[in-house]
Amino acid sequence: MIDLAMKKWWTIMTDENRRIVRRKEKSVKELAEGILDNNRALLAQAITLIESNASKHFEKGQNLINEILPQTGKSVRIGITGVPGAGKSTFIEAFGSYLCDHGHRVAVLAVDPSSSLSGGSILGDKTRMDQLSRNPQAFVRPSPASGTLGGVARKTRETILLCEAAGYDVIIVETVGVGQSEVAVRSMVDVFLLLALTGAGDELQGMKKGIMELVDILIINKADGDNEQKALKAKEEYSKILHFLTPVTKGWESKALTCSALLGKGIEEAWKTIDHFVATTQKVGSFSERRNIQRKDWFYALIKDELETAFFSDEIVKGHLPKLERQVIEGNVPASLGARKIFDLYATQKRRIGHDQSY
Amino acid sequence: MIDLAMKKWWTIMTDENRRIVRRKEKSVKELAEGILDNNRALLAQAITLIESNASKHFEKGQNLINEILPQTGKSVRIGITGVPGAGKSTFIEAFGSYLCDHGHRVAVLAVDPSSSLSGGSILGDKTRMDQLSRNPQAFVRPSPASGTLGGVARKTRETILLCEAAGYDVIIVETVGVGQSEVAVRSMVDVFLLLALTGAGDELQGMKKGIMELVDILIINKADGDNEQKALKAKEEYSKILHFLTPVTKGWESKALTCSALLGKGIEEAWKTIDHFVATTQKVGSFSERRNIQRKDWFYALIKDELETAFFSDEIVKGHLPKLERQVIEGNVPASLGARKIFDLYATQKRRIGHDQSY
């Protein structure tokens, strides 16, 4: 009877639920050892832990990060964005495969804050990077599907650390370029690539504002067939524009290249340019300086997150804020006074809670 | 004897100190009445109160704002920025004088977060707008000289309210365009003007990035003499560029004009365009919509300020933060864990203080 009930129960379960039942929850130690051992299943499980929004998983995730921290940082972190249709997936597939063939181990991550709304856009469909996903030297992971950019960014930053501990020495972080996602990715990588197409003049108008200022290396893709001459011309035009901009990386003048991801042309040059970028910036010190600043900025951004989360999830604040906000918007209460008022309510109540908890 | 001592003491005092001694501190009621009466001396005194960094002045300043709030909002708030050398002072002098001659009352404020460092740049030297400063229909006030952009912006926002209560119906807020100051000014005005020079192609390169996206009206100054034809050509070029950008104001397509502030040419057209802007945006509703959003955004920015100020001035936080920051930067403590740790120290201590204060 029991077996029959079990069987029936098993049959009506979804595939997803079955996977959860099958998977025993690993300890921090088991996960850390698995990651250092390059156990892909445990790496994936650790990333799922980091991506969890459950507060009970936060501490465990942080303990894991703390555990593997000494084994992190030894990779080149590459950010990639591109205008729509520039062929990001094809480029990453060709570029990643080239690196795997040359002894590297490549992890491909993504920051796509829109994926939770649209139901997954970039990398949601792994088959887009079919060849690379099946390469034993590569690890392809879709964007964490969680609301805010800040949340997605935190998860991706910590996933970079996990992948580094697992021995991946090239980490590629792709972004679709929704909202501020490029700025978020720029703040977690060493070098930032923009994939563009020919026709700099026209294309520039469609290009996202401010994007050229974030770029270390601009690559004009689809430099093949009839398009090759146009691509070379575009490269010159872009070079001129880049020359006018203040370089985003100290000691490095942003460069324009061409490639054909489809034919595998220019892929080696792209890697050599990145290699040259790393060597140059390590020499002048801006490589480690940037990483230090990134860690510092991230630390302070997280502190502010903590402060705001505590404040805006507070019951007293939630009770008074809507009315006060309305009064400020309607111009009946000055903004400064309103802000001071709600903050005082919050601070006073915190002290009252302290009193209640002490006795 | 006493008289002699007083006389000696008076002699060695600076002019500034003498002014402070002479000036009796007014009550909120006196200040509010003085402002509504358009008493320039009391308006200036009220602005000084708002600009004070002393915490004892904060409450008084807020009570004053609260008092005059029903009399605010009835002006056109105009932001003006410009490339260096575009002739902002000359333009504001000519423009402001034109408005005064046509029955308006004009207040000129400034946002210059650099002035506290450099010892005052824009408007610090009032003689730059000599004619306008002496016009009884105009009120020219230099930028508050206080460190951060956030602080300067708060003071300028509240000064706008005071000036409106005093009956100024056109408020001009000038910015030098240091750092994010244009974004700050854009967020407190109804219409944003950019003063530019001829030679759009070359000039654009030198123009601050992202500035064109904030602009409702672009004015090419110095359209006089040999320069007039070039200015008209530049106007066409800029118009084309503006046409490509997403308009910053719903219902308004950003426009390019020419003027010669020196000869007073194009000043009337500039005002008529602003007038048309106001009428158009009031009709489609984006005028009041923007003001509502500005009040809301400001309210939340101030709440975050309160939270951060309380946190970063906390003794426990100040005691632990430097070491923790170093550990995070050096990569020895994960940023998330570090942020959680310092936040927990802060929150626990707040509860302890609550307990101490309760008993």
Q: Does B115 score more than 80 pLDDT?
A: no
Residues of A with Cβ-Cβ distance to B69 under 8 angstroms: 331-334
User: Region B66-79: what's the mean pLDDT?
Assistant: 95
Task: Tally A–B CB contacts below 8 A.
Answer: 163
Residue in chain B closest to A242 (alpha carbons) equals B205
- Convert the pLDDT of each residue in A272-308 to its tens digit: 999 999 999 999 999 999 999 999 999 998 999 889 9
Closest by Cβ to A306, choosing from B66, B298, B343 = B343
Query: Residue A183 above 80 pLDDT?
Result: yes
- Mean pLDDT, rounded, for B234-247: 83
| H, E, C per residue of chain A | CHHHHHHHHHHHCCHHHHHHHHCCCCCHHHHHHHHHCCCHHHHHHHHHHHHCCCHHHHHHHHHHHHHHHHHCCCCEEEEEEECCCCCHHHHHHHHHHHHHHCCCCEEEEEECCCHHHHCCCCCCCHHHHHHHHCCCCEEECCCCCCCCHHHHHHHHHHHHHHHHHCCCCEEEEEECCCCCHHHHHHCCCCEEEEEECCCHHHHHHHCCCCHHHHCCEEEECCCCCCHHHHHHHHHHHHHHHHHHCCCCCCCCCCEEEECECCCCECHHHHHHHHHHHHHHHHHHCHHHHHHHHHHHHHHHHHHHHHHHHHHHCCHHHHHHHHHHHHHHHCCCCCHHHHHHHHHHHHHHHHHHHHHHHHC
Does B110 have pLDDT greater than 90?
no
pLDDT tens column, B136-160: 999 999 877 666 777 788 889 999 9
Looking at residue A7, what is its pLDDT?
Answer: 54
Q: Which of B69, B210, B338 sits opposite A209 (nearest CB)?
A: B210
What percentage of chain A reaches a pLDDT higher than 90? 59
Q: What is the pLDDT of residue A110?
A: 86
pLDDT, chain A, mean: 85
Suggest the residue from A75, A180, A245, A337 to mutate for an interface test with chain B (most B CBs closer than 10 A): A337
Highest mean pLDDT among A343-352, B6-15, B18-27: A343-352
For range B27-53, the mean pLDDT: 94
Would you say residue B5 has pLDDT above 90? no
ipTM: 0.80
Q: What is the mean pLDDT of the segment spanning A194-202?
A: 73
Contact predicate B158/B35, CB 8 Å? no
Query: pTM of the entire structure?
Result: 0.76
Whether the pLDDT of residue A115 is over 70: the answer is no
Which of B213, B299, B340, B344 to mutate to test binding with chain A, by most A CBs within 10 Å of its CB? B299
How far is the alpha carbon of B343 from chain A, nearest alpha carbon, in Å? 7
Say what the pLDDT of residue A31 is: 96
Q: Which residue of A has its CA nearest to B347?
A: A350
